């Protein structure tokens, strides 16, 4: 599912998962920052908006909920 960067990121925080790299992203809409962590880890780093894997997540990833991001897993 392709997501548009415009309005999609304006109204609330978003959590994305990019399955090929097994990477999670948290878009903080108030601070306008992107945070990334890999599946199975708790280590979160801020990345630039033009980060390749973040843009891959927008193009071919999917939105997940905050709980999946916090767990670092798409499995409940």
pLDDT in tens, 30-66: 899 999 999 999 999 999 999 999 999 999 999 999 9
Strand arrangement of the beta sheet that strand 62-64 belongs to: 45-47, 33-38, 23-28, 14-18, 62-64
Q: Terminal CA-to-CA distance of the chain, rounded, Å?
A: 22
Q: Is the model's pLDDT at 2 over the cut of 70?
A: no
Write down the pTM of the prediction. Answer: 0.88
What is the distance between the alpha carbons of residues 42 and 72, in angstroms, rounded to a whole number?
A: 7
Q: Three-class SS of residue 2?
A: coil
- pLDDT, one tens digit per residue, over 60-70 is 999 999 999 99
Q: Is the model's pLDDT at 5 over the cut of 80?
A: no
Query: Which residues share a beta bridge with 36?
Result: 25, 45
What pLDDT is recorded for position 4? 53
């Amino acid at each position: 599912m392709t997501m548009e960067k415009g309005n999609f990121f304006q109204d609330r925080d978003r959590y994305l998962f990019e399955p090929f790299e097994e990477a999670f992203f948290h878009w903080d809409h108030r601070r306008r920052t992107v945070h990334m962590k890999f599946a199975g880890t708790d280590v979160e780093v801020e990345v630039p908006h033009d980060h390749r894997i973040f843009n891959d997540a927008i193009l071919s990833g999917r939105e997940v909920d905050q709980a999946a991001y916090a767990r670092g897993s798409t499995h409940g």
